[in-house]
Chains A and B, each alone.
Chain A
């Protein structure tokens, strides 16, 4: 199946003297984390299906610096940012799409002051626009009638007010969208942001991801949909901690759409 994936790089485009419409910023999780790689592939399948003219940076991509910045290492963040901006500007990138809300937030909001000005979209927004333009159609497929709850990633929702695009996509799957008691601007963090992904949590009564998973399980979903590779990991771990792997799947919205169409 993988031979079907078409993933051109910016360097290849450059060599042919061409410029893609959009750069797909894969992100560290999307590149290296085994679970997140599946999300990356699902998204690429959709890009291929919609015949989107895109490219990735490949080995020229580097961490946006988000976890460093939020851990307090502004130096490291800015070094990363400036290096990335140099690469992006050298390729004259205008439009970026990414499946990681942390990359999305950082490139969209924090890079401009450092000289990086791009139109940045989260993959759910991008997929929604493909749909609106008729380049992509979504069929209910295997998710028709399934109960799906959406976990708002903090860096997509509260941080950038993107609440509707992912929900619109879920509804297009003809699934039943059920909301948790904390959703949208009141959403509860998965526990991974602010560099927490990379360290053990401070002492407490409970892990944040377990609390969040409990809220999700409360609405009896078949699937917990996520739009962030870190949320995905945290919720998957939460479902495991609650021994619910048999009943509840954790899926990225890109995966849902790709699977629904048997891609």
Chain B
């Protein structure tokens, strides 16, 4: 027996996994471009969130139809991957259906895979119809043109093809059909091939088998370039997601230091600024104008975004026709981060100023100022993404670094500064209501 196919298989496998590993490394490097943030708190709450939200898909079912279908595809994906294990062993060692030695249990396993494959196939078709025929509003917003739109469909085609190949592979496997155990779905497909010779069947079976495994490897490598990365990142992302009350924004530490200095009557106003304990020499920049100013959880968020648009769907600003879309905020952040990553790759590991930044080139001030900080997007996100934190960090940059707030907000802030209220009333009149 020729060992050539086994070698070929091993090479394809190594190439597929190798390229994937390379991209994962890049992914981690890019995420680490964000500055550090302490997420060592609340570990038990974090594990709970991950189990409930990522593993248990608890937030998906808030929209019952999409939620139910998604759970099928998710469970199908996880379970059918057990089959991949067999494929890999067979491929490397030239065996055929090595697990079939398990007998009846094997039949049970493959039988459930086949049923799942069919369910996944049907769900994916419904997903496709929702996107392309019913044209669900959230998949047709302005940020969903071009790549994001095709990406969504490509994934669906991929799954359709993979599921079909799996079933065809089973249906044309003469030995498997002869076992008459577990071919619950494929037995109905088998008649399609009934008048073919055993040789032809074998070729089709082998063809489907190879395409199936190669397809899976391509799919694996496609992830990095796709919103589908969420199938991996949803887990760390829900773990590192916000555990504080949604209304609680972080208190910028750099500001706390300065405020304490200003308020401390003993502080020497002419003293050199205190040595930065973190050892980094970048002068504290307030807020964010580019991806490097965000923290790594925010960048992880950007890579995790599934572009489902649930956030945008519930955003009051978006609902009333304003330019803001929290999904776009996340997509922009990811696009810019990718651009920065490529820049670093092209310049031997060093970022060369490209005259662009997240603020202005991707996200406009108008979008940022439209946010009511209502947290609807944070609540809606099925994978614990916090678009609001990025919006606030960018507002901070606009206000504290550029003094670029809308004039009315400047008025409001001046009033607070002078009168202790956002309106031009005298603080001494605060209790007047009592006697009015």
Q: Which residues of A contact B (CB under 8 A)?
A: 2, 5, 7, 9, 26, 28, 30-33, 37, 40-41, 56, 58-59, 61-63, 65, 67-76, 78-83, 105, 108-110, 113-114, 154-155, 158-161, 185-189, 191-208, 210-212
Contacts and interface: CB of A to CB of B under 8 A. Distances in A.
Contacts of A187: 376
Given A26-B433, A154-B376, A195-B373, 18 more contacts: A2-B434, A28-B421, A28-B422, A28-B423, A32-B430, A63-B420, A69-B249, A73-B400, A80-B416, A105-B248, A113-B251, A159-B247, A160-B245, A185-B379, A198-B411, A201-B322, A208-B320, A211-B319
Contacts of A203: 321-323, 366
Contacts of B258: 75
B416 A202 contact: no
Contacts of B370: 201-202, 204
B25 interface: no
Contact of B421 (A40, A62, A185, A205): A62
Interface of B: 244-249, 251-252, 255-256, 258-260, 262-263, 286-287, 314, 316-317, 319-324, 366, 369-376, 378-379, 392, 394-400, 405-406, 408-409, 411-413, 416-417, 420-423, 425, 427-436
Contact of B375 (A78, A79, A83, A159): A159
A136 to B, nearest CB: 21
Residue of B247, B322, B379, B408 with most chain A CB atoms under a 10 A cut-off: B247
Contact of A74 (B252, B431, B432, B434): B252
Contacts of A191: 316, 372
B423 A32 contact: yes
Nearest to B435: A2
A198 B422 contact: yes
Nearest to B259: A78
A208 B247 contact: no
A158 B375 contact: yes
A37 B433 contact: yes
Given A72-B405, A73-B399, A211-B320, A194 B371 contact: yes
A63 B252 CA distance: 19
A105 B371 CA distance: 18
Contacts of B245: 105, 108-109, 159-161
Given A41-B433, A63-B420, A193-B374, A109 B247 contact: yes
B255 A75 contact: yes
Contact of B409 (A37, A59, A71, A79): A71
A189 B248 contact: no
Contact of B251 (A7, A110, A155, A185): A110
A73 B366 CA distance: 17
Q: Which 4 A-B pairs have the closest CB atoms?
A: A159-B247, A72-B395, A194-B373, A205-B321
A223 B249 CA distance: 33
Contact of B425 (A32, A83, A192): A32
